Homo-oligomer: A and B are copies of this chain.
Amino acid sequence: MAKPATTPRSGLRKLPSQARSRARVESILKAAGALLGEVGYDGVTTNLIAERAGVPVGSIYQFFETKDDIIAALVERFQARIHKLAGEELDAASVVRDRHAFVARLVEGIAGIQAEANAFVCVFSGSQSHARFDGLARELRATLIGHLDQVFSEAFPRLPKAERGRMLAAWSDITGAMIATLDRSKPGERGKLLEELKTILSAYLDAKLAATG
């Protein structure tokens, strides 16, 4: 009775096996991601998500145990994207070759999945308000900062470890703040804000490197 009919994976209460339900799960995730950007984590209610997704509340709980599991599913996708970026485009050699291009690819990569990025922001910078996100936030840190830390330590061996850590923490904070702004920006501004974020991170990186030689 409480046993799910299909083996649960990936934070889903049960795997949607029919096309109909798979589409529903997608619409729920999409609605939740968009709403996160618009009204923030605590502004998001299950009823809001359901309404936006065009499904009744009950359907949400057909596939997700809790509201937070929706966020968690989005974060999982975010992490998958980071892994993909890491494997394909963001290695030590490419930072050394052209660090501004590296920053640009990172920014574009994250901004390319706005709904998931909104979940990242909510968990990453909101974990202090919601203890249940602690574990997820740690994972996120390991995924994003951990990878960059490795790349940078290889690319810039003269930059002390502590400095690198502070810089990457700040990078994440800055990126998170701008992602949030991005989501509320007018369509025409979006591109300019992305350029702004690239400028900020690049200038900051340059300054850190200049300070250490």
Contact = CB atoms under 8 A, between A and B. Distances in A.
Interface string A110-133: 000000000000000110111000
Contact of A169 (B42, B181, B202): B181
A42 B202 CA distance: 34
A170 B42 contact: no
Interface in A178-201: 178, 180-181, 184, 192-193, 196-197, 199-200
Interface of A: 38-43, 125-126, 128-130, 166-167, 169-170, 173-174, 176-178, 180-181, 184, 192-193, 196-197, 199-200, 202-204, 206-208, 211
Copy number of this protein in the oligomer? 2
B167 A196 contact: yes
29 contacts: A39-B129, A40-B128, A40-B129, A41-B42, A42-B129, A43-B128, A43-B129, A43-B130, A125-B177, A125-B180, A128-B180, A128-B184, A166-B193, A167-B196, A170-B178, A170-B196, A170-B197, A170-B200, A173-B177, A173-B178, A173-B180, A177-B177, A199-B208, A199-B211, A200-B200, A202-B207, A203-B206, A203-B207, A204-B204
Interface of A is mostly: helix
Contacts of A208: 199
A167 B196 CA distance: 8
Contacts of A169: 181
Contacts of A193: 166
A199 B196 CA distance: 17
A166 B129 contact: no
A208 B196 CA distance: 9
A126 B40 CA distance: 8
A141 to B, nearest CB: 13
A199 B192 contact: no
A182 to B, nearest CB: 10
